[in-house]
A and B are shown apart, each in its own frame.
Chain A
């Protein structure tokens, strides 16, 4: 089945850029998503990218997709303490129906 992997932790200083990476094994992705989970809460969609796109920018967020390497990244510019959360990448894959496959999540810690 599909496998989606992320590093578990990332620590950055306030004001720096954060880059959270994700790799996946199934090349038949249709959409790829980034979700944010704040402490004690459910997941909230941050942004998504269609698989025929290379990049998507949305305010402080930039998503880069390298289909050849099956690599997805989320860049957060000017990271703030409110960005501290767990970030999940997820993908929908051909044959998966309406299911999403989630990564393990990256805990982002923003330090002053």
Chain B
């Protein structure tokens, strides 16, 4: 079974803190994604990576950065957390291929910024 794990299920941080969210997948997938989920807005793509050290901006990259030093690990960084970044953060991975693009999701990290 594909497994995607996220470092924390719940996180509470103060405004201005630097926040690291970690994601690890064990299926040797090339692609990894970070989304945030907010009620009524669905999933919005923050950043994704299709290879080690490669990253591409998604739809809402402002205020975030990412790091992918190893194939299995994709980190999301909030340089200076703000209250409007309170949200559920979901990590996903997928293989590259000519077939479908099914993504496998981690359990999510609910981040609260106070």
Task: Name the residue of chain B whose CB is nearest to the CB of A4.
Answer: B42
Interface residues on chain A, size class: 20 to 34
Task: Judge whether A98 and B31 touch: CB under 8 Å.
Answer: yes
Find residues 25-62 in chain B having any chain A CB closer than 8 Å to their own CB: 30-31, 33, 35, 40-43, 45, 48, 50, 58-59
Q: How far is the CB of B57 from chain A (nearest CB, A)?
A: 11
Contact A98/B96 with A31-B101, A104-B40 known, Cβ cut-off 8 Å = yes
Task: Judge whether A42 and B90 touch: CB under 8 Å.
Answer: yes
Interface stretch among A11-19, A43-51, A60-68, A76-84? A43-51
Task: Judge whether A98 and B43 touch: CB under 8 Å.
Answer: no
Task: Judge whether A8 and B40 touch: CB under 8 Å.
Answer: yes
Q: How far is the CA of A30 from the CA of B4 in the complex (A)?
A: 25
Task: Name the residue of chain A whose CB is nearest to the CB of B110.
Answer: A40
Interface residues on chain B, size class: 20 to 34
Q: Which residues from chain A contact B74 at a C-beta distance below 8 Å?
A: none
Q: How far is the CB of B29 from chain A (nearest CB, A)?
A: 10
Residue of A41, A98, A103 contacting most chain B CB atoms (<10 Å) = A98
Interface, chain B (partner A; CB < 8 A): 4, 30-31, 33, 35, 40-43, 45, 48, 50, 58-59, 90, 92, 94, 96, 100-108
